[in-house]
Structure 1
Amino acid sequence: MSSLTKSTAKSQAVLNPRTTKYEFMGPIGALLVTVGVPFVTYALYFTCNERVGACPPSFEYIYDTFFASVTSQEFWRSLFDLEAFYMYLGWYAFCVVAWAILPGDWVQGTELRNGKRQSYKINAFSTMLLALGLTAGYIYRFGCQSFTFLYERWIGFVTAALCMSIAQAALCYGFSFRGEKLLALGGNTGNPVYDFYIGRELNPAIFGLDLKSFNELRPGMILWLLIDISMACEQATRLGGRITDSMALVVLFHGFYIADSLYNEPGLFTMMDIVTDGFGFMLSVGDLLWVPFVYSLQARYLVFRPKDLGMAASAAIFLVNALGWYIFRESNNEKNDFRNGKNPKNLKFMETKRGTKLLTSGWWGVSRHPNYMGDLLMGLAWSLPTGFDTPVTYFYIMYFAVLLAHRGMRDDEACEKKYGDDWNRYKKLVKWRIIPFIY
């Protein structure tokens, strides 16, 4: 081995140290989640649809149907729909082409360990507007019934999104061994099961297209809104051209949340997913499968269980969502302003030995993760329009509470390593993790 090769190998080892600590209970936990996420996505459909009647059906029905299905070749063939597969590939290609041709500013992300910065093109919001414009024109030309195919071919689209998730995670894992790549500090264990799940390469990109940020906001998030619109079209087709106030609220809440996220795209580049996590199956399946097909559960449920809430109930639910959004957006604005050297509200902060500052007033004085509190309130408002006939439509808020609690613990661990004793001092000033006086 030449001296140059030895020097390169040594510098790579310093830049990409071996990961020695597991999350998600290690390889076994990673394997369980890798299998469990697709399983739950399919299960939420097969245990909550108009064909089975109840939502969920009885345990005896689930038990009998499950074993009859998994032993049937016809069932496995029914999961794949070639037409839906091609349509999904077309949708993904549309998002890539829109990213490439629509105008947008290029911004620099945070500085990486190698001293470089990742470049990101900002045009997710305009991609959504283009998609919505084309969808509106299509529905206007051919009628609501023409845009119900997402409801009718649901399982085919789920399988297509799963295939895309697996393919991207596998390719990124394989290519992470080629060349001098910057690896995620948490995804370089040497265990293929764990590293495939958690993500080995930090910022995989193809011709300037950063896969991680692209998948985070475009194919899955915008498809989530299109699915909601398809569910509303299906309900309108069944109800003679009208939709219920409950469906209108769900589509409005989801649409506003998605539009707000895409409009504030630059705020994404300071989040843990982008800054520290690698791109593996965890993010690919979360962005492409879980977000559009699980988060739209309430809209799909209201197709076959339509509900008219009335003005009073609708107004109350609207206020819950508005409060959640206000907390979420204001807290994120405070954080982003402060990180960019601005402090328009003259918020209090504490100095750390690292020379950085931690906010201790405003929303960030209420809890260590006030944006999560806003997220949870919005999630509750998204489920309330479905009523209280089934707990299944509240799956999102239950899952999200667990996810955010886990993410908060990951943040605390990372900050404790980063700030040391200063973090313990900070926790005495800001006692609550997410919800004051509760958690």
Structure 2
Amino acid sequence: MNPRTTSYEFLGPVGTLFITLAVPATTYALSFGCSEHSGGCPPLLATIWPSVKTSMQDPEWWKSLWDRDAALLYLAWYVYCVACWLLLPGDWVEGTTIRDGTKKKYKINAFSTFLFTMGITAGWIMRFGPQSFTFIYEKWVGLMTASLIMSVLQGLYCYALSYYGEKVLALGGNSGNPFYDFFIGRELNPSIGSFDIKSFNELRPGLILWALIDISMACEQSVRRGGSVTDSMWLVLAFQLLYVADGLYNEPAIFTTMDITTDGFGFMLAVGDLAWVPFVYSLQPRYLVFKQVELGPVYTALIVLVNFTGYYIFRDANGEKNDFRNGKNPKNLKFMETQRGTKLLTSGWWGLCRHPNYLGDLLMALAWSLPTGFETPVTYFYVSYFLVLLMHRQYRDDENCEKKYGEDWDKYKQLVPYRIFPRIY
């Protein structure tokens, strides 16, 4: 049931220990190295560290990392998300079959939580004005620290929990090395009763907080400009809120992803979901607070075109895959039979490359950065990081598929040779 992990990812225990320390450090560096208080964003990413290093020599800098009110605010936010999961209505759906032959059931109400939260937020701003919702911008660092602490605590809790009772462990997180298993995630589906910790964190606290951060940044810019908001801020706000809403609306789709079916829940997913997503993915609107870019109609239209091209590819490709998995083939797409009795698409978007949804994702990520202009690469950190992340995920997916399909996977790669970028990669 739970074989020992025999191969390492991320360069093993040393690599995962480095990432465990580097992720919080990078999150703080991007925050402190690119802000109006540090004199703006640097023209080169390499120049972030010297400014952060100088700040670290000041005792007040260390004190600024902790904010009790922000920590309580973050805790209240997390409790609110749990309460919404518990109280708001939602269907229960089955996930994929686990190695022990069972299927977990998941409550589907992430989109309802988002709509409920957006309704409260809109009502609050209409009643009390934009200045009343700038507190997230003002408590940015304290909230980020609280999310990192929550990530560590959840990673430790789930690691300890994995040793009690009969648990299904992640195939990649049962190495016996505590540093590695803490990072990767030892238990596949840590739960408290029917409350699945991994799928809950995947969509709710981080993604919806990302949307609230964006709205707070727009409110802060509005206050500074006497009530108006730049077209660049409107673009980023619209693009990112659409992305969040789309992910939450299509909540059942995550139950077939590698994060849910394969990876354990440890520090890697906890810090990614709770800290990295909301506080790194919102760098663009934060930058636009103190660097207020006006694009004009031509550049606005071009950026909109890039974003919706990416969104169309992302959504249509996922639609083809989901239809095919559910026994539908409205486009009469070609496919190949495997010895396992399953089928692999070889035409449509999935005939152009093995991961067309990643291509769409990357185009959208680029569109989120373009409204910030080209004075600093910091606002393009997300799309650069995302490219590396998706290439690594594609590599992991290929490895898993090779083990799963054997010789059939070699035949499939001949039919669909390109990985993410057709005719390029």
> 2:131 aligned with 1:152, yes or no?
no
Deviations along 1:98-145, whole A, 9 cap, x unmatched?
000100000000001000001100000000011111111111111100
> 2:75 aligned with 1:89, yes or no?
yes
Aligned residue type for 1:25:
L
Deviations along 1:149-170, whole A, 9 cap, x unmatched?
1111110000000011011010
Write out aligned runs for 1:4-15 (5 A).
15=1
Aligned residue type for 1:31:
L
Deviations along 1:61-97, whole A, 9 cap, x unmatched?
8566544544544322210000000000011011000
> 2:310 aligned with 1:324, yes or no?
yes
State the distance in 2 between where 1:89 and 1:106 align: 26
Write out aligned runs for 1:32-431 (5 A).
32-56=18-42, 65-431=51-417
State the distance in 2 between where 1:110 and 1:411 align: 17
State the distance in 1 between where 2:423 and 2:262 align: 30
Return 327-336 or 290-299, whichever deviates more: 327-336
State the distance in 2 between where 1:307 and 1:72 align: 32
Question: 3-state SS of the aligned residue for 2:38?
Answer: coil
State the distance in 1 between where 2:243 and 2:159 align: 32
Aligned to 1:19: 5
Return 339-348 or 311-320, whichever deviates more: 339-348
Query: TM-score scaled by structure 1?
Result: 0.95
Deviations along 1:184-237, whole A, 9 cap, x unmatched?
000000000000000000001112111111101100000000000000000000
Aligned to 1:8: none
Q: Is the 8 A contact 1:47 1:57 kept in 2?
A: no
Question: 3-state SS of the aligned residue for 1:260?
Answer: helix
State the distance in 1 between where 2:173 and 2:21 align: 19
Aligned residue type for 2:391:
A
Query: TM-score scaled by structure 2?
Result: 0.98
Aligned residue type for 1:261:
G
- What is the aligned-residue identity percentage? 66
Question: 3-state SS of the aligned residue for 2:167?
Answer: coil
Deviations along 1:215-261, whole A, 9 cap, x unmatched?
01100000000000000000000001010000000000000010011
1:421 offset after TM fit, Å? 0.9
Structure 1 stretches lacking a partner, 5+ long? 1-14
State the distance in 2 between where 1:69 and 1:197 align: 29
1:433 offset after TM fit, Å? 0.2
Aligned residue type for 2:211:
L
Moved over 6 A (4+): 57-61
Number of residue equivalences: 425
State the distance in 1 between where 2:45 and 2:147 align: 29
Q: Is the 8 A contact 2:45 2:378 kept in 1?
A: no
State the distance in 1 between where 2:46 and 2:409 align: 51
1:265 offset after TM fit, Å? 0.5
Q: Is the 8 A contact 2:317 2:350 kept in 1?
A: yes
CA spacing shift, 1:90–1:250, aligned 2, 3 Å? same
Return 284-293 or 343-352, whichever deviates more: 343-352
Aligned to 1:11: none
Deviations along 1:396-423, whole A, 9 cap, x unmatched?
1100000000000000011111111110
Aligned residue type for 1:100:
L
Aligned residue type for 2:301:
A
